[in-house]
Chain A
Amino acid sequence: MKSLLSDIFNELKNKYKQFLSTTMESADSTKETATNRLRFVLMHDRTNLSPETMEKMRDELIDVISKYVVIDTEALDLNLAAEGDSIALLASIPILRAKTKEEQEEAILELEKKRLAKAQEIEEVELLDEESDEEETEAETNETEEEVSAEETTTIDEVEETVETESKKKK
């Protein structure tokens, strides 16, 4: 008798739970998705910031901050947020640790190098654009592109070496 009662009670309890869960599910259904997606797209519409620009901004931000602190670039979060009529740029940047003086100097040098390489790349592209009609130059382009990519993949150790040699040169 007792077990029968508890069975019925359990059955009822489960039914009630099911009933609740189906009604609760609808609370965060498609409407929430729609408003969130809409808010996001409208912020970009209003500021006229494309995802590419955001990506660029994010990369440059990492460069600047990495001069002074070691950050978790994977977890870095850069987003637009609306509060009333105004739109803000919100960045969440998890810091792993601060850099030592030497590390800071190194990072600054590295950044400078990166910038120079980029400038050079742009110059090369411009030069090549001018002569792009000739087939011979096309072949050259391939070569230089290979060189560039080879440079990009240099390991940290190598970069450190080059930085050292550069700083020696400066002295």
Chain B
Amino acid sequence: MEGRVIVVTSGKGGVGKTTTSANIGTALAKLGHKVALIDTDIGLRNLDLLMGLENRIVYTLVDVVEGNCKLKQALVKDKKNPNLVLLAAAQTRDKSAVSVEQMQDVCKELKKKYDFIILDSPAGIEQGFQNAIAGASEAIVVATPEMSSVRDADRIIGLLEAKEEVKSYKLILNRVRSNMIESNDMMSVEDVVDILSINLLGIIPEDTAVITSTNKGEPVVHDEKAKSGQAYMNIARRIIGEDVPFMDLSEPKNWLQKIKSLFVTKK
């Protein structure tokens, strides 16, 4: 059976595409699947950093499409999991270095040997984004519960809808702050899902463990105590078809909040 090509995209930058790509890829590999991660953000590569593989990159995606090396040579094995490989982006080139057709060819080749190919897309809706979605048949849209992020996600969803090759697209809501949602100072998961009318794949809580794990170059999904890590693992399970309920992110209340909640009925 051929592998599934999934693009992780968002429109807006800084909402957690690369973190999501790294963690979903790692989680799927942990579940025993063969996974290839591709960083398509040419010129602004970061996936290697998040995976802690920055010192092992010899060849890049651009080297592969230009024929400087074989595809196999450019695939860097993960430190912990032999099922997981990374194809890094070139740092010294720009988005025009890879064409849509070349991207499709690379995906086609990788599909034969890997169960999942995860494409980390660059921000924006220009050439880089078009390249990233070229080989994909599924998409994950990452957004945070902020207006600008949701607006850009809506734009991306519109573009994905227009792409016949993309059969399904789902939302990951990242950096959710349950305490702010409870005090009505942040859009809730339901609000965003309703506004975008899109299926929800997962919710990731705002978590300092994401930052500390990035510092170490180890995706947070390795940290079994971290809520965000658990959330990413749940997402990976949903991707392979398991029915995993959404996590309850609400934090334990202190006594004052408990008394308040007795008096206030939700609208």
Contacts and interface: CB of A to CB of B under 8 A. Distances in A.
A155 interface: no
Interface of A is mostly: helix
B260 A41 contact: no
Interface of B: 147, 150-151, 154-155, 158, 181, 183-188, 191, 195, 197, 260, 263-264, 266-267
25 contacts: A19-B260, A20-B264, A23-B263, A24-B264, A26-B183, A27-B184, A27-B264, A29-B184, A29-B185, A30-B184, A30-B185, A31-B184, A31-B185, A31-B186, A35-B187, A35-B195, A38-B147, A38-B151, A38-B187, A39-B195, A41-B151, A42-B154, A42-B195, A45-B151, A46-B154
B188 A31 contact: yes
A29 B183 contact: yes
Interface of A: 19-20, 23-24, 26-32, 34-35, 37-39, 41-42, 45-46, 84-85
Contacts of A34: 147, 187
Contact of B263 (A20, A27, A35): A20
A46 B195 contact: no
B151 A19 contact: no
Contacts of B191: 31, 35
Contact of B184 (A28, A37, A38, A46): A28
A46 B158 contact: yes
B150 A38 contact: yes
Contacts of B264: 20, 23-24, 27
B155 A45 contact: yes
Nearest to B181: A31
Contacts of B154: 42, 45-46
Contact of A23 (B158, B188, B197, B260): B260
A85 B187 CA distance: 20
B141 to A, nearest CB: 14
A30 to B, nearest CB: 5
A8 B18 CA distance: 60
Contacts of B186: 31
